[in-house]
Amino acid sequence: REKRKSIKEFPKQINNRVIDAFQSFAPFDRAPVWMMRQAGRYLPEYREIKAEMDFFATCQNPFIAAEITLQPTKQFDIDAAIIFSDILVLPKMMGMEITIEEKKGPVIANPLQTPADIQKLHPPNPEHLEHVYDALFLTRLALQGKCNLIGFCGAPWTVFAYMVEGGSSKLFSKVKKWLYLYTEGSQQVLELLAKESAKYLINQVKQGGAQVVQIFDSWAGQIPAIDYIEFIIPSLRILFEDFKKECPDTPLIMFPKDQNDKKVIVEFLKLTLNGKPLIDGFQLDSNISDETLVKIIEANRTIQGNLEPGVLYGTNDIIKKRISQMIEKLQTTRRYIINLAHGLTPDHQVEKVRLFVQESQRQSKLYKAK
């Protein structure tokens, strides 16, 4: 850590394709490729490490977290590494007692039940997040400029949903009750999360060397556009603004999963600071409408996505065909990053994932040459 704070320069960037996808005049040979949840249980080398360690213990050991982050970069010729961590690391440091349980996923022992529980939350002790910045730093050194490094956090709404539901949910009835009944309390928590998430991302960039950041709003689609605009975007705006004030040149990708209403995207596109967009790119899920897509491309924002990950269970023929259709549709802009529509899961096969990466790169080059 001492050394981390003294080193001022990182290895020279050899492959900068992901960052180039945010700059209109950058060189372009093909679109960059990476995958959400590219480090995880479908990789035997990940399972080997995980067999010995608890999930959060792996996140909290910078050497192990860096090693796991690098695993997919050794398997595949990908253009980005995303730091191995979790969106629940931040609320864990704010007083939530969270464990990840086999088959169940995240479980929270002390969920927020009524606004009186808000008092139990506290800003994280900055020292308790240093391991994330250490892991990023080690990863950035080890990558030797071979690909870009991405940092991330959960969006306030999604993190809040976990904090209230106490884990994964089907109905999201508890967090909806908060939103519509304890509206003020909800706003208070969302704002606190927005401010702390911005600090967390700023440190990921300034201390750790993250080159791009992505905000995962996995449960954005659980409420209608009208509520997302009224209750959720104001807290996101705080997050984006705080971040961009400190890191104006670091690309920010927003992932409002299943919230594809054109009205929401239009609200996002309006957000600016000193005339510059607050959101540089959008991760797309597989339901994006053509109409919304056009809005994003016309606003000169980067798009990332969006192959349904289930396609990778299929035959090589269907995988190739769907990649081709995706590229025809999305590579109409050079501000394009190839990715899936959501994360890889433990039942994916390494060879099919490899086919996705190789075939995407091959077809992206061919399409560009057309």
Report if residue 86 touches ligand CP3, rule: CB under 6 A.
Answer: yes
Q: Tokens 């920010």: give the residue.
A: 252
- The contacts of residue 14 (CB under 8 Å, 6+ apart) are 144, 145, 146
Which residue lies nearer to ligand CP3 by CB, 169 or 324? Answer: 169
Among 4, 10, 45, 50, binds ligand CP3 (CB under 6 A): 50
Q: What is the closest distance, in whole angstroms, from the C-beta atom of residue 106 to ligand CP3 in the complex?
A: 5
Interaction residues for ligand CP3, span 209-248 (CB under 6 A): 216, 218
Q: What is the closest distance, in whole angstroms, from the C-beta atom of residue 47 to ligand CP3 in the complex?
A: 8
Interaction residues for ligand CP3, span 21-40 (CB under 6 A): 36-40
CA pair distance 84, 38, nearest whole angstrom: 9
Binding marks (x or -) toward ligand CP3, 152..171, rule CB under 6 A? x---------------x---
Among 100, 225, 299, 350, binds ligand CP3 (CB under 6 A): 100
Instruction: Select from 252, 308, 305, 306 the least CA-distant residue to 276.
Output: 252
Report if residue 174 touches ligand CP3, rule: CB under 6 A.
Answer: no
Report if residue 105 touches ligand CP3, rule: CB under 6 A.
Answer: yes
Which residue lies nearer to ligand CP3 by CB, 40 or 256? Answer: 40
Among 32, 62, 91, 106, binds ligand CP3 (CB under 6 A): 106
CA pair distance 67, 138, nearest whole angstrom: 9
Report if residue 358 touches ligand CP3, rule: CB under 6 A.
Answer: no
Instruction: Select from 46, 36, 52 the least CA-distant residue to 74.
Output: 46
Among 225, 267, 343, 368, binds ligand CP3 (CB under 6 A): 343
Which residue lies nearer to ligand CP3 by CB, 218 or 292? Answer: 218
Report if residue 287 touches ligand CP3, rule: CB under 6 A.
Answer: no
Burial of 81 (C-beta count, 10 Å sphere; 0-12/13-18/19+) = buried
Which residue lies nearer to ligand CP3 by CB, 216 or 336? Answer: 216
CA pair distance 155, 266, nearest whole angstrom: 18
Report if residue 55 touches ligand CP3, rule: CB under 6 A.
Answer: yes
Which residue lies nearer to ligand CP3 by CB, 37 or 131? Answer: 37
Burial of 188 (C-beta count, 10 Å sphere; 0-12/13-18/19+) = middle
- Give the tokens for residue 295: 């809005």
Among 19, 43, 78, 82, binds ligand CP3 (CB under 6 A): 82
Residue nearest to ligand CP3 (CB): 218
Q: What is the closest distance, in whole angstroms, from the C-beta atom of residue 250 to ligand CP3 in the complex?
A: 17
Report if residue 84 touches ligand CP3, rule: CB under 6 A.
Answer: yes
Q: How many CA atoms lie within 13 A of 232 on its CB side?
A: 29
- Give the tokens for residue 145: 């400029």
Which residue lies nearer to ligand CP3 by CB, 88 or 264? Answer: 88
Q: What is the closest distance, in whole angstroms, from the C-beta atom of residue 72 to ligand CP3 in the complex?
A: 7
The interface region with ligand CP3, picked from 98-106, 120-128, 133-141, 174-182 by CB under 6 A, is 98-106
Burial of 334 (C-beta count, 10 Å sphere; 0-12/13-18/19+) = middle
Which residue lies nearer to ligand CP3 by CB, 87 or 198? Answer: 87
Which residue lies nearer to ligand CP3 by CB, 163 or 327? Answer: 163
> Interface residues with ligand CP3 (CB under 6 A)?
36-41, 50, 55, 82, 84, 86-88, 100, 105-106, 152, 168, 216, 218, 343
